[in-house]
């Protein structure tokens, strides 16, 4: 059976319907667009081959942390997360939100979206934010009134729209009907309306694309949630435990319990082949509600009920999970004993690093392609992996996990020379930072922050910056590097964080001898721009007369052209955009 396409930007691709037997309600039928999850179909577009900023997304400089100020456990979890992931305090927003599972769109705008925006703008960090991680204690869903009919989306999907607008008039997409009426083989059903424009490719702050009448300016939004605060914290613990330790255990693909929930089974063989090429253990098994005794690096299936297959197995740090069923992330699934179909909170309690589910009846065409494990195995972050294979935006999807998690990434190693954690550093000192990739890949960007304020950034693997312009006292120094990707790996982001005591010192720094190259202008904590021009001539100075030294650029112009071509080939060869 075929669902007739609708014209205009709300038109999902032509869809084949799979009848459902009416068991544990997934709706009367599931809708699956043919080719939407197809593997091995190569689509090359101008956007896929054009050079683009390569960023491993996100890192501690680009994650915003959102907590409910009225829930002590939410605030505590935010503090724990920020400390563990070296997030500057100015990127942590604890705001007063309703202590309810659902909020109306008006309440979401007034009590969540607007205060969060104000928090990040006041901190001066909003332009560089790429991801948001929401703490347990925040609302789970947003109810949108569409001509008197309540339509439900996840809070994370509403936040993930970022600044996405309609291209015709610049009006926000948020507030429009998130779905559309569909003809599911003679039965009326309601399905997602807005295809995602973000497909498996490197993401970065300010990423934008115009498609089908929508100007997409998204964020990658995940949540730390579970049936308890301790369970929610397990997601962070698992992510930290997986750092630099890619799991060697097998990834299990279990066939769906029925045709509707097995809608993605057709991907399995191609994904298994891709994992084999990458040297990752994986296998396919028939559906078994009580499969047990395994230790897994990932688990993918589709079913409305599972027995020992969750609690009877263990999951390695770094493991990702997705179960194709309607109600995995319903609010009741996060209560102590509640469960509608298979609660994704059960996997959280077992120590997985990431899991996806839906907060209301979704139809089965909205689940992420299982190709997400291929990008993940190539070094993509958890946020990039799930969102890069999500077919729709502004829908009912919920991703649980630390967005920074990337166990398969080879992160750059970053050093702030001559400074130890806990040491005293005099104001006026020139700080030297360098970064290298253990995999031998070029460093594309290096940035240094003091208390979340950008001091300097450079192309290449070295920079120097003057520590001046702020009152003495405790400070966090955060240096973040991004290495280039190659034909087999995504770009990777690495960092180092030092807590220091800035002591009184000279009013300025002595500028080091200039050499070829230039550093991008930085901003000191007082807001003054500092830098050197291309010839090494001192640029504008801070109030203290401090100048930033030149960066050491990596490679020649020819090398950069070769890396640009290599990155383009990555997009062409390994990351086709799906339709």
pLDDT of residue 201: 76
- Look-up: residue for tokens 């009580």? 290
The pLDDT-based confidence of 36 (bands split at 50, 70, 90) is: very low
Compute the C-alpha angle 144/180/108, nearest 5°.
15
Contacts of 563 (CB under 8 A, 6+ apart): 442, 484, 555
- How far does Cα 143 stand from its chain's mean position? 24
Side by side, the strands of the sheet bearing 492-503 are 424-426, 492-503, 473-483, 443-450, 453-458
CA–CA separation, 569 and 566 (whole Å) = 5
CA dihedral 485, 489, 491, 494 (to 10 degrees): -120
- pTM (2 decimals)? 0.83
pLDDT of residue 475: 94
Confirm if 54 and 442 have CB atoms less than 8 A apart: no
CA–CA separation, 306 and 302 (whole Å) = 10
The per-residue DSSP string of 145-167 comes to EETTEEEEEEHHHHHHTBT-EET
Per-residue pLDDT for 44 more than 80? no
Preceding amide of 483 cis, omega within 30: no
For the chain, the straight-line distance linking the first and the last C-alpha, in angstroms and rounded, comes to: 19
Per-residue pLDDT for 52 more than 50? no
The pLDDT-based confidence of 55 (bands split at 50, 70, 90) is: low
CA dihedral 321, 326, 331, 333 (to 10 degrees): -60
> Average per-residue pLDDT in the chain?
82
Tokens for 503? Answer: 């002591």
Q: CA nearest 488: which of 425, 409, 406, 553?
A: 409
pLDDT of residue 202: 76
Side by side, the strands of the sheet bearing 413-416 are 413-416, 429-436, 462-467
pLDDT tens for 107-163 read 999 999 999 999 999 999 999 999 999 999 999 999 999 999 999 999 999 999 999
Per-residue pLDDT for 171 more than 80? yes
pLDDT tens for 318-358 read 999 999 999 999 999 999 888 999 999 999 999 999 999 99
pLDDT tens for 193-240 read 999 999 877 789 999 999 999 999 999 999 999 999 999 999 999 999
pLDDT tens for 8-17 read 333 333 333 3
pLDDT of residue 145: 97
pLDDT of residue 556: 33
CA–CA separation, 8 and 212 (whole Å) = 7
The secondary structure element, H or E, covering residue 77 is helix 72-84
Helix (H, G, I), strand (E, B) or coil at 483: strand
Q: Domains (ranges, CATH) in the chain? A: 1-47+58-408 (no CATH), 413-512+551-561 (2.60.40.10)
Per-residue pLDDT for 575 more than 50? no
CA–CA separation, 456 and 446 (whole Å) = 8
Confirm if 483 and 494 have CB atoms less than 8 A apart: yes
The pLDDT-based confidence of 6 (bands split at 50, 70, 90) is: very low
Q: CA nearest 131: which of 179, 28, 61?
A: 61
């Amino acid at each position: 059976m075929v669902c007739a396409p609708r014209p205009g930007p709300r038109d999902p691709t032509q869809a084949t319907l799979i009848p459902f037997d009416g068991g544990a309600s997934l709706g009367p039928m599931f809708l699956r667009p043919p080719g939407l999850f197809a593997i091995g179909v190569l689509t090359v577009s101008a956007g896929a081959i054009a050079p683009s900023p390569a960023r491993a997304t996100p890192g501690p400089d680009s994650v915003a942390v959102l907590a409910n100020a009225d829930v002590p456990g939410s605030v505590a979890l935010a503090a724990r997360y920020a400390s563990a992931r070296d997030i500057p305090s100015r990127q942590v927003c604890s705001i007063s939100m309703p202590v309810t599972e659902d909020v109306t769109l008006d309440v979401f705008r007034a009590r969540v979206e607007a205060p969060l925006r104000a928090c990040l703008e006041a901190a001066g960090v909003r332009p560089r934010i790429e991801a948001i991680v929401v703490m347990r204690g925040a609302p789970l869903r947003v109810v949108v009134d569409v001509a008197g009919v309540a339509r439900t989306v996840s809070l994370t999907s509403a936040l993930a729209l970022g600044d996405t607008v309609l291209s015709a008039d610049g009006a926000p997409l948020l507030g429009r009907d998130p779905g559309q009426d569909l003809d599911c083989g003679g039965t009326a059903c309601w399905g997602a309306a807005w295809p995602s424009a973000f497909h498996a490719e490197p993401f970065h702050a300010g990423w934008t694309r115009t498609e089908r009448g929508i100007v997409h300016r998204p964020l990658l939004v995940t949540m730390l949630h579970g049936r308890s605060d301790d369970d929610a914290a397990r997601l962070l613990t698992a992510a930290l435990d997986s750092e630099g330790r890619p799991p060697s255990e097998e990834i299990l693909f279990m066939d769906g319990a029925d045709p509707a929930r097995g809608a993605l089974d057709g991907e399995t063989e191609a994904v298994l082949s891709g994992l084999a090429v990458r040297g990752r253990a994986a296998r396919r098994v028939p559906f078994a509600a009580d499969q047990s005794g395994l230790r897994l690096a990932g688990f993918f299936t589709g079913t409305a009920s599972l027995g020992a297959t969750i609690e009877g197995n263990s999951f390695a740090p770094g493991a990702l999970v997705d179960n194709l069923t309607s109600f995995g992330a319903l609010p009741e699934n996060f209560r102590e004993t509640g469960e509608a179909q298979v609660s994704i909170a059960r996997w959280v309690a077992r120590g997985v690093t990431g899991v996806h589910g839906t907060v209301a009846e979704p139809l089965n065409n909205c689940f992420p392609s299982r190709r997400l494990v291929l990008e993940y195995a190539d070094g993509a972050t958890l946020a990039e992996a799930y969102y890069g294979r999500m077919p729709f935006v502004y829908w009912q999807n919920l991703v649980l996990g630390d967005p920074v998690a990337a166990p398969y990434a080879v992160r750059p190693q970053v050093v702030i020379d001559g400074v130890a954690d806990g040491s005293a550093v005099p104001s006026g000192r020139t700080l030297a930072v360098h970064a290298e990739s253990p995999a031998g890949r070029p460093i594309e960007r290096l940035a240094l922050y003091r208390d979340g304020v950008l001091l300097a950034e450079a192309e290449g693997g070295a920079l120097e910056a003057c520590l001046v312009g702020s009152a003495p006292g405790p400070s966090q120094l955060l240096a973040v590097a991004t290495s280039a990707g190659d034909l087999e790996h995504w770009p990777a982001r690495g960092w180092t964080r030092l807590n220091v005591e800035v002591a009184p010192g000279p009013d300025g720094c002595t500028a080091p001898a200039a050499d070829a190259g230039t550093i991008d202008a930085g901003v000191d904590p007082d807001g003054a721009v500092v830098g050197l021009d291309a010839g090494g001539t001192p640029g504008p100075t801070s109030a203290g007369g401090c100048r930033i030294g030149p960066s050491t650029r990596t490679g020649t112009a020819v090398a950069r052209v070769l890396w640009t071509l290599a990155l383009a080939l990555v997009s062409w060869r390994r990351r086709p955009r799906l339709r």
